[in-house]
Amino acid sequence: MTAILAASCGQKKNAPKMLVLYYSQTENTKAVATEIATALGADLEEVVPVEPYDGTYEETIQRCLREREGGILPSIQPVKANVADYDIVFLGYPVWFGTCAPPMLTYLDQADLAGKKVVPFCTFGSGGLQSSTADIVKKQPQAEVLPGYGVRAARIADMPAEVDQFLKASGFLEGDYVKLEDFPEAHAVNEEESAIFDAAVDGYPMLSAKASKVASRTIPGGTEYEFIALSAPRGPVPDSKMMELTVYVTVKDGGAPVFTQVVR
């Protein structure tokens, strides 16, 4: 990413041209897109479905299920930006059913991002950055898909500071950033660590799991934990059928444990 930063700091005529293209059902993904575009001075455009997903949560779920079962992707309005004019394209979306929301999948089916640097960013209930990024790679194999940024909708207030650090660490912005150490080798959770995990996921109905191993590292103002957990579905399930998850939890100094994402 050094070349990106060098280019952006050079003469204006040599600076890479950036586009932030996003779909947002609520204001969350739009907020991330606006933060990125403002920080970079990038062009900003929204992907708009012809038939908006503007029903209730349950209505949206049912529509998505019907579309998925029928292999249907929604029609979108034409994107005004000519992607051929850009060097770097940031793609933003909420994560639905573990991947990009359908309007962004439609765009990915229609667009030609070959030779472009593509940076995913997303909002989610529990996780999905990794799985959605993998789907972008499948749909645009000739693009250079770079590591992206994701944030839980419940943590959107933390997003501006995280985006700043992400853009600097990725080489898109100049400035100081905190380079975190790698997590050490995981060990079996003790009683205190198990309590931290349980407190972080308490009240979240989509995540029913118990921590088995953990590693931790110091972050500015607190500690971050990388828990390995086994899903706990309802009813008796053989251990061989249990799903292993990675759950990231942050505990700020003096604060309560909060999970930041789940990797399935």
Instruction: Please check the confidence at residue 239 and state whether its pLDDT lies above 90.
Output: no
In the structure, what pLDDT confidence band is assigned to residue 232 with cuts at 50, 70 and 90? low
List the structure tokens of 77.
């309005």
Where are the alpha helices (H) located in the chain, listed in sequence order?
2-9, 28-40, 57-70, 102-110, 129-139, 159-169, 191-201
**pLDDT, position 8:** 40
Please check whether residues 205 and 114 belong to one and the same domain.
no
In a domain, 180, yes or no: no
> Which of 118, 139, 169 is at the close of a domain?
169
Check residue 216 and give its pLDDT.
Answer: 98
Strand pairing category for 117-124 and 144-145: parallel
The two structure tokens encoding residue 11: 């003469």
β-strand 99-100 against 88-96: which pairing, if any? antiparallel
For residue 122, which of 222, 44, 192, 22 has the smallest C-alpha distance?
A: 22
> How many domains, the chain?
2
The model's pTM is 0.90
Helix 159-169 and helix 28-40: axis angle, to 10°?
40
Q: Is residue 177 part of a domain?
A: no
Together in a domain, 67 and 112: yes
Q: Under a CB-based contact definition with an 8 Å cutoff, are residues 263 and 130 in contact?
A: yes
Two tokens, residue 57: 């949560």
Q: Is residue 108 within 8 Å of 79, Cβ to Cβ?
A: no
- Quick check: 170 and 181 in contact, CB under 8 A? no
Whether residue 25 contacts residue 47, with contact meaning beta carbons closer than 8 Å, is answered with no
Question: Is residue 11's pLDDT more than 60?
Answer: no
Q: How many CB atoms lie within 10 A of CB 176?
A: 7
Q: How far apart are CA 93 and CA 47, in angstroms?
A: 9
Query: Do 134 and 259 share a domain, yes or no?
Result: no
Query: Looking at per-residue confidence, does 233 or 10 come out higher?
Result: 233
**For residues 46 and 116, is the Cβ–Cβ distance under 8 A?**
no
pLDDT tens string 79-93? 999 999 999 999 999
pLDDT of residue 205: 74
The span from the CA of 228 to the CA of 224, in Å, is 13
The one-letter amino acid code at 224 reads E
113 plus 13 within the same structural domain: yes
Same domain, 211 and 246: yes
For residue 179, tell me if it sits in a domain.
no
Q: Vertex 140, ends 138 and 146: CA angle to 5°?
A: 90
CA angle 79–84–90, rounded 5-degree value: 65
Residues 165 and 231 in one domain: no
Domain membership flag for residue 182:
no
As a whole number of angstroms, the distance between CA 36 and CA 40 comes to 6
pLDDT in tens, 12-65: 457 899 999 999 999 999 999 999 999 999 999 999 999 999 989 899 999 999
Contact 220, 176 (CB under 8 A): no
CB 156 within 8 A of CB 166: no
Range of the domain at 119: 2-169
Residue 6 lies in a domain: yes
Give the pLDDT band of residue 10 (cuts 50, 70, 90): very low
Q: Looking at the structure, do residues 35 and 98 belong to the same domain, yes or no? A: yes
